[in-house]
Structure 1
């Protein structure tokens, strides 16, 4: 995969060379903290951020790595908490045993808490202007907190086994999943100092891309195995998923229609950036 080789290999090297550690005499906290970051995953959000920077301001790529790491740290915290017994009670994530199973629930909660706050420290120390760093922190906080991912997760948990309308389902997943994906693109645009209209357009595209990501995830949960995906599947029967609401065949068609609608959003972007993002859509979503 060209995109993955070009951006994610270099980011992965940076992550390993700058892997945060936790001082103290706790027997396993630092180990658990590092293991969950190194467990990998798609690194989809850093990819989006770095794709924007590489296309629009390639000289700032190295400056953007700490921001991409902070973004991945916040996303990782959300996965740890999502897997907790109080939420999804999952025993597998990124092909590895979840932290509350491998260690204990207290460790998992506190590693998640640490990653959440450390993410912003990571961004605050990036070699960028103070104004840019403040904008980046604000974008991530607005989309990752109560105005985005957290309220989406709260709704998801509250309405298990309670059928939502399609409009309510889209609201849920726009917040739980799409806003952080949109923020990834927006943060790349902030690093590149793109104008306000360009930022609005790329964020709008990101919201649709994030919903597409969730639709595909719901389809995968219904059709794939835990071994193939590195996390539990067939686990959404109590959830408000697009497959549960629409049925599998209609969800697949909805995904295809969503991919087509992204073309309209791409047309609002700079052509070079649109081409790069179109390439990502095709590689990740088989468009």
Structure 2
């Protein structure tokens, strides 16, 4: 059941992205092609899946979630394009393909990231949804994208490169860099389902634990997996002397932290019962993923 739902939602996300992204045959064709290279045909689609899972758990129709799910993925895609730039992580492989600045050029990659981000907000503003819901969606996504979210987390990551961070600092950095957009995805879906304050708080606890679990697992895979398995360069954290959960806790300690986060997710979702089955399945995927 879960695999079928996830495949259907991933296909809906791909179709919506195809519809929202500009025609590569129109000028500026190079920029349009770069945007599509960054967004289509790959990735785990974890964030749009969370939008669908949270929304449908609370009774929202799948079709009503399409644009919101795609908008979250557009912001994620923009962040990856910019993270991979030479001025940031300087990576040349993403989702098994050359990164945008390698496939095109650095200036085009910067513009593609900018354009993907603004397209996300344009799509939300024009979505077929009540005005207040669209405002709430825009606010949630903007908060997750700026200095209190991904941009702030990336700045902290840059500042920490080459030195050992305390565990508390590492967790705060990843709560912004990785966790903020995951929390926004869950919130956006929940808002579409008309969630009350108590449910939003419960789902936020789940999403916070999932975001951290996603990063802990990422750090473990960076040590254990190959570049071919990951679809991106393995061993980058160690090469750049970055603090990671295995580096601070050891591999056994990192795995124990992952197990603890899985329990936190289950506890947060428990009051929702069977309605939260697909959210729970996504949490399990985050903990057990192999790439």
TM-score range, shorter chain: over 0.9
Q: 1:261 aligns with which of 261, 264, 268?
A: 264
Give the alignment of 1:6-85 within 5 angstroms.
Answer: 6-21=8-23, 25-58=27-60, 60-85=61-86
Give the alignment of 1:186-265 within 5 angstroms.
Answer: 186-237=187-238, 238-265=241-268
Deviation per CA, 1:64-106: give whole Å up to 9, x if none: 1011111100010000010000111000001110011111110
Deviation per CA, 1:40-86: give whole Å up to 9, x if none: 2000000000012222224x311210111111000100000100001
Give the conservation status (yes or no) of the 8 Å contact 1:21–1:33.
no
Please give the secondary structure, in 1, of the residue aligned with 2:236: coil
Q: Does 1:130 align with 2:145?
A: no
Deviation per CA, 1:194-230: give whole Å up to 9, x if none: 1112112111211111000000011111100111111
* Offset at residue 27 of structure 1 (A): 5.0
Please give the secondary structure, in 1, of the residue aligned with 2:91: coil
Deviation per CA, 1:133-165: give whole Å up to 9, x if none: 000000011111111111111000111011111
Relative contact order (C-alpha < 8 Å, sep 6+): which is higher?
2
Give the conservation status (yes or no) of the 8 Å contact 1:39–1:96.
no
* Offset at residue 22 of structure 1 (A): 6.7
| Equivalent residue, structure 2, for 1:276 | 278
* 5+ long unaligned stretches in structure 2: none
* Offset at residue 17 of structure 1 (A): 4.2
Structure 1 CA distance, aligned partners of 2:203 and 2:275? 10
* Offset at residue 108 of structure 1 (A): 0.4
Deviation per CA, 1:246-268: give whole Å up to 9, x if none: 1222212221222122222122x
* Offset at residue 245 of structure 1 (A): 1.4
Structure 1 CA distance, aligned partners of 2:11 and 2:114? 27
* 5+ long unaligned stretches in structure 1: none
| Equivalent residue, structure 1, for 2:90 | 89
Structure 1 CA distance, aligned partners of 2:34 and 2:45? 19
Aligned length: 285
TM-score (norm 2): 0.92
Structure 1 CA distance, aligned partners of 2:12 and 2:41? 16
Between 115-124 and 244-253, the greater mean CA deviation after superposition: 244-253
Please give the secondary structure, in 2, of the residue aligned with 1:120: helix
Give the alignment of 1:166-185 within 5 angstroms.
Answer: 166-185=167-186
